[in-house]
Amino acid sequence: MAVAALNSFPSTHEAGDTLRVEVGYSDFPATLWTAELKIATTGTRPTSVTGTASGTKFIFLLTAQQSAVMTAGVHGYSVKVTETASGEIQTAETGIIRFLANLGASLTLTTAGTQLAAANAALTILLAQPNSNVSFNGQNFTKENQSALLDIISRLETKVASEQSTEDGYRGVSRSRMIRPRFV
């Protein structure tokens, strides 16, 4: 069974999932216009999806393969329409979609996660070899000032936990002990 078509673009979407959206624009009916969806984030090449006419509406299908390569984060999108008779181009819609990390693929660490791993590796060396001198983030640490490295690790752990909590929030997961209300 095909993925049901949404009647508007979602605010969040999981990378690796199929996205089917059916939208109509009263000023740009599919009988007289063609449409193309472009999705991109800073520094990436846009993904293009050609709209298929369905009466006066357009159906956009972002395949699982196309969405799987979307990096986690906010992506801008625009729907450009072209009048078939004149070739004139207009922007019908713009917006943003937050792509959630594809849990079916290997996840990359955030910058804070990478820094935390490096800081923990430096601390491990320092603890294993008490007379050693380790470097992290341009600073040298010894047994005498390892508490400064522990402070850095603590701050990085807080940042990574905050990033994870934010990502969980977008997925609807609550890590608090509060009871979430559910409306039926």
Q: What CATH number is given to the structural domain containing 19? A: 2.60.40.10
Q: Does residue 184 lie within any of the structural domains?
A: no
52 lies in some domain: yes
Q: What percentage of the chain carries pLDDT values higher than 90? A: 48
| DSSP category for residue 69 | T
Alpha helices in 10-145 (DSSP H): 64-68, 111-128
Note the pLDDT of residue 173. 61
Claim to verify: residue 95 and residue 71 sit in the same structural domain: yes
What is the pLDDT, as a whole number, of residue 35?
97
Report the chain's mean pLDDT, rounded to a whole number.
Answer: 88
Residue 80 and residue 123 in one domain: no
Where among 71, 100, 129 does a domain terminate? 100
Note whether 34 and 74 are same-domain residues: yes
> Do 65 and 33 share a structural domain?
yes
What is the pLDDT at residue 163? 81
pLDDT for 151 beyond 80: yes
Residues 48 and 96 in one domain: yes
Separation in Å, CA 181 to CA 39, 165, 170, 175, 184: 34, 19, 16, 14, 10
| Arithmetic mean of pLDDT, 70-83 | 92
**Looking at the 3D structure of the chain, how many domains does it have?**
2
Q: What angle do CA 67, 73, 78 make, to 5 degrees?
A: 65
Question: 120 and 66: one domain?
Answer: no
Domain extent, residue 78, equals 12-100
Asked if 90 contacts 26 with a C-beta cutoff of 8 angstroms, the reply is no
* Mean pLDDT (whole number) for 20-49: 94
Banded model confidence at residue 174, pLDDT cuts 50, 70, 90: low
97 vs 177, residue with greater confidence:
97
* Coil, strand or helix at 114: helix
Question: Does residue 147 share a domain with residue 90?
Answer: no
Q: What is the pLDDT of residue 38?
A: 97
